[in-house]
Structure 1
Amino acid sequence: MTAGKPERLSALDAGFLQAEDSDRHTSLAIGAVAVLEGPAPDVESFASTIDVRVRQLPRCTQVLRTHPFDTSAPEWVHDDAFEVRHHVRHTAAAAPGDDAALYCVVAEVMERRLDRDRPLWECWLVDGLADGRWALVVKVHHSVADGIAASTMFSALCDGASIVEYPPHESDHPSDGARHDGLPTMNPLSWLTGAWNVSLATARSAWRVSSGAAQIATRILSPQSQAMAGPLTAMRRYGAASVSLADVKSICHRFDVTVNDVALAAITDAFREAMVRRDEPTRSDSLRTLVPVSVRRPDELHLPDNRVSVMLPLLPVDIADPLERLRAVHNRMTQSKASGQSRAGSLAVAASNLLPFALTAWTVRLLTRLPQRGVATVATNVPGPRTRVTVMGRAVQSLLPIPPIALNLRIGIAITSYADELTFGVIGDFDATVSPEELANGIREGVERLVSVTKACRRSRRAGNQLLLLIS
């Protein structure tokens, strides 16, 4: 393979490298676990298959080239010494090979940093699982891809053409009322009206962006102490919970909310229950959460890079009633989308690409070394394949996401859909106040509570309808 023109990392891509450098206990990789039907393939045939498939993904055979004193952004260049066996690893889960044993393997894999002298990914074959199953653990550095790009990369490792479902992109841009679907009007009055409307829309957009930027800065730099936040150690724990996607959609339909609203409400429930068990105060400002927002256009899904912004809502752990909590989450996410936070984040990233790289690199290094206490956790939602897929002829039974943690965020939660399931992957620092296993169980129970509320509302509605029929 011939080397192509080097591609520079964006300021955001490079920022993940600098954030990792700011803390020796941080490993800024994201990942996924595919649990498959047996039997497991032998290591040599597995490595050969992976070798063929990753060569279709340029980033998997490219290595970072940096420049002294940050005179220019790092670049992706072809690795002439690429050898797939540097990246394909083999391990076994401890007996009895249950979920807990698999989660221990995942935690150990994610603890270690990827070697920057080689392409920034690994693929682990994990055998020894109960019922003849095996697992595939894929790990890629966050500088290579965000969640959606990584999901697209995972689909390339599957047999055939896997269909990956992505939600419609929600624009944060207000409508400017201008005409875009025909020839310009010849009416001068329309020109003036159009110019006035565009000016108003631009002013409103600028106000939203500036307001959103102020909110992000205030909330990240807030001295508010978060009980869940704290310094990282070198060890991790992992847990996961899967729920019925049909159940989640039934909640969405009944209460006019989104899948993401239901997921965040269940996460809120899990944190609230954990805090109550520990006699910690559940205040309205106890759980500031970083929620990444994709800003990819549909034609950019395949591009290996990061195209995300952020929102920073407060999850309502102070609300005890599950339905009220769900509605509060929905309202807060709606307000966050309207506030201009995600648009401000996108513009900040775009502007940073116009500055000298040395300035942005030094700034990011300084900011990532500050003691962040304003945000407690991160929760990210990445859609997966809508239909069941196979790897080397073996059916993927379940797909578990793995988020990163850094910058005093000791708990990270990723949500992904696969076929008829919605799965929550929780990674945490080993010394975090709440364990990932406890949160995963709490999330599952939180969804069950919302399902019970949904069924109760339907029964009540049916009873009301029957009463009306009897009266009439």
Structure 2
Amino acid sequence: MSRVDTAWLRMDNPSNLMVILGVWTLAPRVDYEAVCARIAERLLKYPRFRQRVVEDAAGATWVDVPDLDIHQHVVRERLPRVARGKEQAALQALVGRLAMEPLDHRRPLWKMHLIENYRDEQGREASALVVRIHHCIADGIALISVTMSLVDGGAAPPKRRKSAAASPAQGAEDWIAHALLKPLTDMAVKALDAAGDGAAASLHLLRKPAQGVEGTLDAAADAARLAVQVFNDAASLALMPDDSKTSLKGKAGRAKRVAWCAPLPLDDVKAVGRALRASINDVLLSCVAGAIGAYLRERGEDVAGKEIRAMIPVNLRPIDEAWKLGNRFGLVPLVLPIGIENPVERLYEVRRRMRELKGSTQPLLAFGLLAVAGLLIKPAQDAMLSLFSRKTTAVMTNVPGPREKLQFCGATLEQTMFWVPQSGDIGLGVSILSYGGGVQFGVIGDTHLCPDPQAIIDQFHPEFAKLTTLTLMLPWEG
């Protein structure tokens, strides 16, 4: 197991399990045995889903499970009888309970729960599939690739070359060169939209040092500027100030609640962004900040001038290599201005901060920190990674999904939602997923720090409505 994946494996704690959690709602209902057959046929093509983890003093190893029983990994669940219209709340309660149910380390670290008696928001007979996958197997971008192989018409993962499969396990130095240096030089600049051709040329010098002699003083200057950027970003990570004090920050408990809302039309979000000269991300993140601020004000908290920090994953791999699984992402801290009540002012502040992150090497530094953490014993790893949980209130993800609705075992995948885990004592997770022409928000909260995540969810549509109304009031004649 790579050192980064080992770090994720060891990050489990009683307050936060490192398990990626997802929910599919499917209409009409799907057959349990058909689902088992599909998962066995498609998912088990990925070796990681046929392997369990064995830990020792040197780290962790993937070990094949030859007699895997698919019925132990795809199980049936039923919701309690509830009044019509309360089915989603019952499903959310089940998902919250499963979020804190550890996976069995004697088996591959994933499990799916098929709820066969669900009714969707339209009252139709439907199924819900709750998916739990340990973060050490893959990150969210890689699991989107896995998802696309499970749906009707999905393609199996590409076959690994025999030479790659037969290669011996990498040593620590080889691994660092492959996992850090190669992503840095080959695609991190593009992934992070870093500082143009000059910086890209400087990074290529690291990949092909023999060609460095041909470089000019300009290339050397670019490399020097990059070194300064890395130094400044490292200092920013190490010296991050504490978040504003709110009820969302504190010692996490041992229970979770989840909530999600109906999708916003993606075309409406795009239209507001174009009108206000902001990106889709700017609009959505501004709604997140507004919803959290409104939630805290309703709880009687004064949020004027307050900010909270959210860690946002940044992909560090080409999308066409996502099928290889594992974790290849960094983290960048975004400070959300929850104390700005004016929605347009808040949007432009979010836009300004997002632009400041362009070209940052912080995601790469965070990736390297996880790599180093994976080399350490668990107490030392915990101490190192506590930097993020001490300075952070939330983990937030924004993932683009398929534009058209997918089919699974003959049913339509009507809605999909997911949450990535929070580490340490971070008690709030926010997920944004675009799918099938809509954008959906989901929240997972520690019951001690965020006892009512639905109250945050209920603020997303009003916050977007404010932006829409103000956009329509602009002087279009000019």
Give the TM-score, by structure 2 length: 0.83
The structural deviation recorded for 1:282 is 1.6
Q: Percent identity?
A: 26
Correspondence for 1:217: 238
* Residue 238 in structure 1 maps to residue 238 in structure 2: no
Question: Structure 1 residues 301-310 or 283-292, which shifts more?
Answer: 283-292
**1:45 alignment partner, one of 18, 34, 52:** 34
Aligned counterpart in structure 2 of residue 143 of structure 1, from 125, 132, 136: 136
Q: Are positions 1:63 and 2:52 aligned together?
A: yes
Stretch of structure 1 that moved more, 256-265 or 92-101: 92-101
Q: For the residues of structure 2 that align with 1:178 and 1:311, how far apart are their CA atoms?
A: 20
* Alpha-carbon distance, 1:327 to partner: 0.8
Q: Residue 357 of structure 2 aligns to a residue in which SS?
A: helix
Letter in 2 for 1:90: R
What's the counterpart of residue 461 of structure 1? 476
Q: Which blocks of at least 5 consecutive residues in structure 2 are unaligned? A: 157-189, 203-211
Q: Relative to 1, partners in 2 of residues 1:17 and 1:420: Cα closer, same or farther, differing over 3 Å? A: same
Task: Give 1:294's aligned residue.
Answer: 315
1:202 aligned partner:
223
- Describe how 1:355-374 pairs up with structure 2 within 5 A: 358-359=375-376, 361-368=378-385, 372-374=389-391
* Aligned-pair CA distance for 1:439: 1.1
Task: Provide the residue aligned with 1:105 in structure 2.
Answer: 94
Q: 1:390 to 1:402 in 2, by over 3 A?
A: same
Partner of 2:115: 126
Q: Is 1:337 paired with 2:358?
A: yes
In structure 2, the CA distance between the partners of 1:425 and 1:328, relative to structure 1 (3 Å rule), is: same
Q: Is the 8 A contact 1:18 1:361 kept in 2?
A: yes
2-structure distance, mates of 1:409, 1:154: 27
Q: For each residue in 1:274-303, what CA deviation from the matched residue of structure 2 results, as whole angstroms up to 9, or x when unmatched? A: 121223232545311111111112332222
Pick closer, same or farther for the CA change 1:372–1:109 going to 2, 3 Å: closer
In 1, Cα distance between equivalents of 2:334 and 2:280: 16
- The one-letter amino acid paired with 1:76 is W
C-alpha distance in 2 between matches for 1:434 and 1:337: 35
Give the distance between the partners of 1:213 and 1:371, measured in 2 at CA. Answer: 13
Q: State the SS of the aligned residue for 1:313.
A: strand
| In 1: Cα distance, 2:60 partner to 2:428 partner | 29
Partner of 1:13: 5
In 2: Cα distance, 1:27 partner to 1:202 partner: 40
Tell me how far 1:437 sits from its aligned partner.
Answer: 0.5
Amino acid at match of 2:192: E
Given candidates 437, 445, 452, the residue that maps to 2:469 is 452
Q: How far apart are 1:312 and its partner, in Å?
A: 1.1
2:60: which partner in 1? 74
Alpha-carbon distance in structure 1 between the residues aligned to 2:355 and 2:200:
25
**Counterparts of 1:161-176 in structure 2 under 5 Å?**
161=154, 169-172=191-194, 174-176=196-198
Q: CA deviation at 1:98?
A: 2.3
Hey, what's the Cα distance between the residues in 2 that align with 1:260 and 1:369?
A: 28
Change (3 A) 1:24 1:434: closer
**Separation (CA, whole Å) in 2 of partners of 1:396 and 1:214:** 45
Which residue of 17, 20, 36 corresponds with 1:27? 17
Alignment partner, residue 252 of structure 1: 273
Asked if 1 retains the 8 angstrom alpha-carbon contact of 2:258 and 2:445, the reply is yes
Distance verdict in 2 for CA 1:106–1:162, change over 3 Å: farther
Query: Aligned partner of 1:408: which letter?
Result: D
Determine the structure 1 residue equivalent to 2:455.
Answer: 438
Q: Distance in 1 between matches of 2:343 and 2:337?
A: 10
Change (3 A) 1:359 1:250: same
Which AA in structure 1 matches 2:258?
A: Y
2:296 is the alignment partner of 1:279: no
- Paired residue for 2:286, among 260, 265, 272? 265
What residue in structure 2 maps to residue 468 of structure 1?
A: none
Q: Can you give the 5+ residue segments of structure 1 that lack an aligned partner in the other structure?
A: 1-7, 181-190, 465-472
What CA deviation, in whole Å up to 9, does each residue of 1:407-436 have, x standing for no partner?
Answer: 111110111111101111211112224521
Change (3 A) 1:173 1:78: farther
| Structure of higher CA gyration radius | 1
Q: What is the distance in 1 between the residues matched to 2:200 and 2:400?
A: 33
Residue 398 of structure 1 corresponds to 415
Contact 1:382-1:417 within 8 A present in 2 as well:
yes
Q: Shift of residue 146 of structure 1?
A: 0.9
* Residue aligned with 1:176, SS: helix
Q: Which residue does 2:334 correspond to in 1?
A: 313
Counterpart code for 1:390: Q
What letter corresponds to residue 12 of structure 1 in structure 2? Answer: V
Amino acid at match of 2:259: G
| Partner of residue 435, structure 2 | 418
CA distance in structure 2 between the aligned counterparts of 1:196 and 1:76, rounded to whole angstroms: 47
3-state SS, counterpart of residue 257 of structure 1: coil
CA RMSD of aligned residues (A): 2.5
The residue type equivalent to 2:35 in the other structure is F
TM-score by length of 1: 0.84
Q: Is the 8 A contact 2:312 2:397 kept in 1?
A: yes
Contact 1:291 1:311 in 2 (8 A): yes
The answer on whether the counterparts of 1:285 and 1:314 sit within 8 Å (CA) in structure 2 is: no
Q: Give the 3 Å change call, closer, same or farther, for CA 87–324 of structure 1 in structure 2.
A: same
